[in-house]
Structure 1
Amino acid sequence: MGSSATLLVLLFVLGNGVAVTMGRFLRTEVEVIEEDLDEELFLMKKSKLVANTSVGKIRVFYDSRVPERRLQTAITTMEPRSLLTPHLVAATQVMYVRSGEAKLGYIYKNNQRLTQMRLREGDVYQIPAGSAFYIANEESDQKLEIISGIEPSQGLRDDVFESFYIAGGANSGLSGFKEEILEASFNVSQEEVTVLINQQKGKFVRLKDSQATGTWSKFLELKEEEKLQQLREMVQQGQENEEVEKEDEESGDDEEEQQQTSLPWRMLFKSVFGEEIKNTREKITEDPPRSYNLNKRKPDFENKYGWRVAVDGSQYHPLKSSGIGIYHEYLSAGSMMAPRVNPMATEYGIVVNGSGRVQVLFPNGSNAMDTNITKGDVFFIPSNFPYCEIAHKGESLELLGFTTSAQRNRPVVLVGARSVVRTMEGPELATSFGVSKEEIKHLVSAQHESVILPTP
């Protein structure tokens, strides 16, 4: 038997052996997936445009077939001078700025602080679940692209997460309330409520059009304390309305319907900004977490065929709370990532540049998927499934991805100069394959490169 054929058999056997040893994958789950076998089994084909305007888009990729903890992947693109209006998301987001520069504003630290910061190309930042935030692209000549790993809420199975937009006029979460309820909540006239709801028509708005975006353009220009003061005033108005309603209730007025309907709006602002009012005079000394620039981090591994860098909670502590890791890898034209298996986490990959091929095996060593991938494709690799990524000979392959573990998580490399088979070289391994010690030594030492390899 030739060396290459023997090595292929070795890979299949090791794939099965690692899965059995780890004991983390249930047989019933394998059977369920095998029934749905096709050549693009682990490509995430389901996606949804949750926002689609001339100035900004958000596309979310999702798949419910992952047998373990699931993530969703979002790609947000924003034109120059645009704003993603303030909203709440019931999911933790780990954002990576692929290109451009973003101005991020969100409520920090248990709803007690409004944080504003600049995120530049390569920056990673985590937005905790339930945080209110907005993103502005204030650049006049550069688009903004953000790739996010999102953990949806527990009850969501086969659909994308939903955002609650605080602003955005007819597209906001407020537009469905009756006018009298909004009048009472804001303590303003019907005419002012009409302007508030009808002025904007989208989740994304332009910053350069003063007539269309005057409210939020002016808001973004305010200093941090001035922004907070405006938000406090909104909540204060809601509290005053609540006190009036209590007095009416005590006097016997029947306003039950209005109280019940306006409650969600009051609860929203109380939960987001209520603590800020209580701590108006309290000096907050703790600074918010800084961003982490993935592009400036030295690769965990690098050779002439490519590189790979991964960040977990030990390098960027906010990731510990989400349990999400992030990685970035590059394969030069014609090179390949050595066959490996991740025993601790499911991996999600997005092709951000180039094209190539990915092959995935079932834990029993049989083929699960072998397909070409190109820019824009999203795929996932369940834990304990051996896999390999290969760049096409005429084009490099660049991937950005997320993992479902924020612990130190290094995939187990199966073949190569630094690998399982190289470390296990000895009479036991030779006996396992039914070959001599000399033959196994030749087979496992023939490859002088490790982790990222040249293709034949």
Structure 2
Amino acid sequence: MTVVSVADEREDPPKLTECLKECRSQPHYDIGMVKRCEDKCKQEHPPGKRDPREGGRSGESRDKEDPEQRLTECRLKCRQQYNEHDQQMHCQTKCEETYKRERSRNPQRRYEEQEEEREEENPYVFGRERLRYEIQSDRGYVKVLDKFHEKSKLLLGIANYSISLLVADPRTFVTPVHFDADCVCYVVEGRGTVTTLRKGERKSHGIRKGDVFITQAGSVLYLISSHRHQKLVLAKFLRSTSLTGQVSHFYVAGSENPESVYRSFSDEILEAAFNVSRDRIESLFSRQWHGAFVEASEEQIRALSRYSTEGGRWPFGESRGPFNLFEKDPIHSNRYGKLYEANSDDYRKLGWLNLRVSLANIREGSMTAPFYNSRSTKFAVVTEGSGYVEILCPHMAREGRRGSRAQRYREQEQERAGRRYQEEEEEEYQEGPHYRRVRARVSRGTVFIVPPGHPVVEVASRDQNLQMICFEICADRNERIFLAGRNNILRKLEREAKELAFDTSAREVDALFDAQKEEVFLPGPGAHRQRHGEGESEGWGGSESDDTSPSKLVAAF
């Protein structure tokens, strides 16, 4: 973690800041494209340069006075000066305290560092950089998210679930493949045709933006991206049926990337299986060098699309193909956002997986009311825009209270002095439950998990809508329970229960709970402050640094 002084940030050329902001706001699926864009910005507008006529210190002298560097030097002196480990720890604790005082002189930088540290420890949010290439070619790619439970033991219960992303260029054929997983696909953008082979039958359906379709484990699947100019982008949610919980792709065509399953068998097996010579087998399977994504002609696209049927709804509500979320009225809509949802009543196949699919579109500067799912674990993929999420987690609370390295050093000293850790645990238990607020930025390609019962708030940035496709498992009998807004569940409390719970009059409780006239989607923190004459919200990277400040929750009421 590198600390940048206020002077450094102030002296960055304004054009560099604008250029970097433009790079990060682009709807790139490939994090490498964003990195290359940022590198180009830094080459064109080098940071840290200052006109000599303006005076001031050079970048080199500033580096020497950087608090992070002084902290490193202080720790080194501690190790050199003291031989006893306890003395070294005590000395380093003093270094930490000095460093924190220096850092506190720049509230904005301190706030950003706290958020960055939390994001690194965040078990529930996966940035785009965690999507690794499974297949890559010049006409498309497949990216797969790292296994959830490898990031945290808190996610062991969803070890056999996975998220992947498929992007195919216009006029591209995606070769046949099957998975050892049930797969729920959402069409983020583009148009095409999906064909499945199962039980000796072939079924083809046209797909377009907003469509949801399911392929069962073992079904052979192939696609055509038929739009002339727009890429076909699929967000895929997979439930593994393998013993390892790892989702595998099995392609029937390909040479190296991917390798065909046929080429992996021994020659004598293939000769016997196809009843032809080895030369004829090699002649066929050695031709497919394009990989999983192949350019298709206009005639081939028309032929592959000829027998496809469009998704939609039967008169009695059941989908005869892919189900389009936008063909159904949103279950909630106001000027701050819309929520579309499909369940087993809309698309029968969702019932096979006990799954619900929803699409939330939060208007710029708005947010969801704080809520939690009673039974479902939610897997959200950001498809458009940017913003941030806050999740309350009881499992991380103890670790959060132990907090800083200085605090951990003090605890180590106490343990060495003979204080029993069990006594500390008993004291923590007597304090009652605590909750760690997990907060992280989200943007296109980010995946985040919300466990059941965990309250969450999703906030759109001021200049972009935030759109998310959500896959919710254990959907049967699940309920979204809101903690603020017109449908706040606590408004149902009896008058006496309100007075006992909040130690004040029921009238005062009602005044708070009834102040927010909207529900589900609400004005965001900045909009609330403007309405109440409190000035502009700082938003991400602002000067607010108090972790317990109520300003984010005030907007909900």
TM-score, structure 1 normalization: 0.71
Q: Tell me how far apart the structure 1 counterparts of residues 501 and 365 of structure 2 sit (CA, whole Å).
A: 32
Asked if structure 2 preserves the Cα contact closer than 8 Å seen for 1:68 and 1:382, the reply is no
Superposition deviation, residue 209 in structure 1: 7.1
Higher Rg of the two aligned structures: 2
Deviation at 1:97, TM superposition (A): 1.0
Kindly indicate whether the alpha-carbon contact (under 8 Å) linking 2:180 and 2:242 is maintained by their aligned counterparts in 1. Answer: no
In the alignment, structure 1 residue 105 sits paired with structure 2 residue 105: no
Partner SS for 2:507: helix
Is 1:49 aligned to 2:133, yes or no? yes
Equivalenced residue count is 350
Q: Which residue of 2 aligns with 1:398?
A: 467
* Separation in structure 1 between the aligned mates of residue 304 and residue 483 of structure 2, nearest angstrom: 54
> For residue 220 of structure 2, what is the aligned residue in structure 1?
132
1:419 aligns with 2:488: yes
Shift of the 154–428 alpha-carbon distance from structure 1 to 2, 3 Å rule, reads farther
Residue 202 of structure 1 and its aligned partner are, at CA, apart by: 4.6
> Displacement of 1:139 after TM fit?
3.2
Q: CA deviation at 1:220?
A: 6.2
Take 1:146 and 1:365, find their aligned partners in 2: how far apart are those partners? Answer: 39
Deviations 1:251-294 (A, max 9, x none): xxxxxxxxxxxxxxxxxxxxxxxxxxxxxxxxxxxx99411101
Q: 1:360 maps to what in 2?
A: 391
| Structure-2 residue corresponding to 1:31 | none
1:431 pairs with 2:515: no
Once the two structures are TM-superposed, the CA of residue 428 in structure 1 deviates from its matched residue by: 0.6
Q: Partner residue of 2:321?
A: 290
Letter in 2 for 1:78: A
Q: Is the 8 A contact 1:425 1:440 kept in 2?
A: no
Residues of 2 paired with 1:175 and 1:417: CA distance?
61
Larger deviation, residues 361-370 vs 299-308: 361-370
Distance 2:233 2:304 in 1: 23
Aligned to 2:165: 75
Does the CA-based 8 Å contact 2:319-2:347 persist in structure 1? no
Match of 2:517 among 442, 448, 452: 448
Post-superposition shift, 1:67?
Answer: 4.2
Match of 1:89 in 2: 179
Aligned to 2:248: 162
How far did residue 221 of structure 1 move?
5.2
Cα offset for 1:142? 2.4
Gaps of 5+ in 1: 1-35, 225-286
Using the TM superposition, give the Cα deviation of residue 413 of structure 1 relative to its aligned residue in structure 2, in angstroms: 0.6
Match of 1:382 among 451, 470, 485: 451
1:370 and 2:439 aligned = yes
Superposed, 1:196-207 pairs within 5 Å as 196-207=284-295
Match of 1:328 among 354, 359, 379: 359
1:399-456 Cα shifts (integer Å, max 9, x gaps): 1121113435331111111111222252212211111122111111111111111122
Q: Measure, in 2, the Cα distance between the counterparts of 1:50 and 1:198.
A: 21
Distance across 2 between alignment mates of 1:165 and 1:288? 29
| CA RMSD, 1 decimal | 2.6
Structure 2 match to 1:151: 239
Q: Measure, in 2, the Cα distance between the counterparts of 1:300 and 1:137.
A: 31
The residue type paired with residue 41 of structure 1 is: P
Shift of 1:391: 1.1
| Match runs of 1:167-206 below 5 Å | 167-170=253-256, 171-206=259-294
Other-structure match for 1:114: 202
Please tell me whether the aligned partners of residues 226 and 301 of structure 2 are also in contact (alpha carbons under 8 angstroms).
no
Cα distance per residue 1:318-360 (max 9 Å; x no partner)? 1111222211001111111000111211101111111111000
Structure 1 residues 384 and 175: CA distance shift in structure 2, 3 A: same
User: Whose helix fraction is larger, Structure 1's or Structure 2's?
Assistant: 2
CA distance in 1, matches of 2:302, 2:334: 48
> Shift of the alpha carbon at 1:105?
1.2
Native 8 Å contact 1:324 1:403 kept in 2: yes
Gaps of 5+ in 2: 1-117, 308-317, 395-432, 529-557
- How far apart are the structure 2 equivalents of 1:200 and 1:288? 36
Secondary structure of 2:282's partner?
helix
